[in-house]
Amino acid sequence: MKLYICKDYDAMSAKAADVVASVITLKPDCILGLATGSTPVGMYQKLAEMNKAGKLDFAEVKTYNLDEYYPIKPTNDQSYRYFMDKNLFDNINIDKANTHLLNGEAVDTDAECAAYDKAIEAAGGIDIQVLGIGNNGHIGFNEPDSELVAATHKTGLTESTIQANSRFFASADEVPRHALTMGMAPIMKARKIIILISGKNKHEVLMGLLSGKITTQNPATMLNMHPDVTVVCDEDAYNG
Ligand code: F6R
């Protein structure tokens, strides 16, 4: 596991953007696995700046996002589709047809999730997966539990995640109680993983990740089994 400890959020975002940009530069038709949440917003801004400056081309890039609330309409301003359009896709020269998110309106969620895993495999697999981490160690919406699920699936949100995500909604009551999420398998199958960790409230789960011990109570610790993981954190997260 490579570890970069950056001075602050801005430096973390710049380092993460450099890592992702290097993958796109080496393989212009690469497959990106993407995350939402507040942590990667700065990195997305930097990637969009590189694109505007003519240093990075997304014309052939394909993307698969980690998760989507359920149920939710893509036009809802709290949907992850809306988030990705606003924070990245509308600001770069990507073909929207090449951007994929789980359908928060799917009637048959099992079929939707199975098709998503198949589509990722058929596209050739994820070249680099971008991850954030929950205060409780979740990645995607793979929440701490006695067992983790391998395949992409529908899941309930824990109370701690509902509370953490309520900052984006008018109240905690409005946070959807379910989500569709990539399971641990598609995440772990990515050829390269970069996880961004910012803020003092992530200190404990970061230390758990760096301890080298693996527990389903901190799902991110599974990354210790992956051969190519880059952790990019800021000093607040590292020092606590
Ligand atoms: C989002 C996702 C989540 C977030 C995590 C951290 O697609 O998969 O696991 O990465 O909840 O969120 P922030 O960055 O808002 O602290």
Q: 147 Cβ partners below 8 Å, 6+ apart?
A: 216
Structure tokens at 183: 């399971």
pLDDT tens, residue by residue, 73-123 = 999 999 999 999 999 999 999 999 999 999 999 999 999 999 999 999 999
List the residue whose alpha carbon is closest to atom 8 of ligand 1: 140
The reported pLDDT for the residue numbered 171 is: 93
Mutational test site, ligand 1, from 38, 67, 133, 169, max ligand atoms within 8 Å of CB: 133
DSSP letter string over 171-210?
SGGGS-SEEEE--HHHHHHSSEEEEEE-SGGGHHHHHHHH
- β-pair partners for 139: 142
Q: How far apart are CA 59 and CA 52, in angstroms?
A: 13
Residues labelled as active-site residues: 67, 136, 138, 143
**What percent of the chain is predicted at pLDDT more than 70?**
100
pLDDT tens, residue by residue, 35-54 = 999 999 999 999 999 999 99
Structure tokens at 43: 């990195």
Burial class (CB in 10 A: 0-12, 13-18, 19+), 221: buried
Kindly list the protein residues whose Cβ atom lies closer than 6 A to any atom of ligand 1: 35-39, 66-67, 132-134, 138-140
List the residue whose alpha carbon is closest to atom 3 of ligand 1: 140
The reported pLDDT for the residue numbered 196 is: 99
The reported pLDDT for the residue numbered 163 is: 94
List the residue whose alpha carbon is closest to atom 11 of ligand 1: 134
User: Which is the closest atom of ligand 1 to the Cα of 40?
Assistant: 14
Across all residues in the chain, what is the average pLDDT?
Answer: 97
Amino acid letter at 40?
A: P
Mean pLDDT for the stretch of residues 153-166: 94
Sheet containing strand 2-6, strands side by side: 2-6, 229-234, 192-197, 128-131, 31-34, 62-65, 99-100
Mean pLDDT for the stretch of residues 136-141: 96
The reported pLDDT for the residue numbered 99 is: 98
Torsion of CA 5, 240, 34, 67, to 10 degrees: 160
Nearest residue to 141 via CA among 157, 128, 165, 160: 157
Q: How far is the CA of 196 from the centre of ligand 1 (A)?
A: 10
User: In this structure, are strands 67-70 and 178-181 parallel, antiparallel, or unpaired?
Assistant: antiparallel
Instruction: Phi first, then psi: give them for residue 21, nearest 5 degrees.
Output: -60, -35
Sheet containing strand 153-156, strands side by side: 67-70, 178-181, 153-156
Q: Is-cis flag, bond preceding 144, omega within 30?
A: no
The reported pLDDT for the residue numbered 238 is: 98
Q: How far is the CA of 121 from the centre of ligand 1 (A)?
A: 24
The reported pLDDT for the residue numbered 226 is: 98
Amino acid letter at 236?
A: D
The reported pLDDT for the residue numbered 82 is: 98
Q: How far is the CA of 36 from the centre of ligand 1 (A)?
A: 6
The reported pLDDT for the residue numbered 153 is: 98
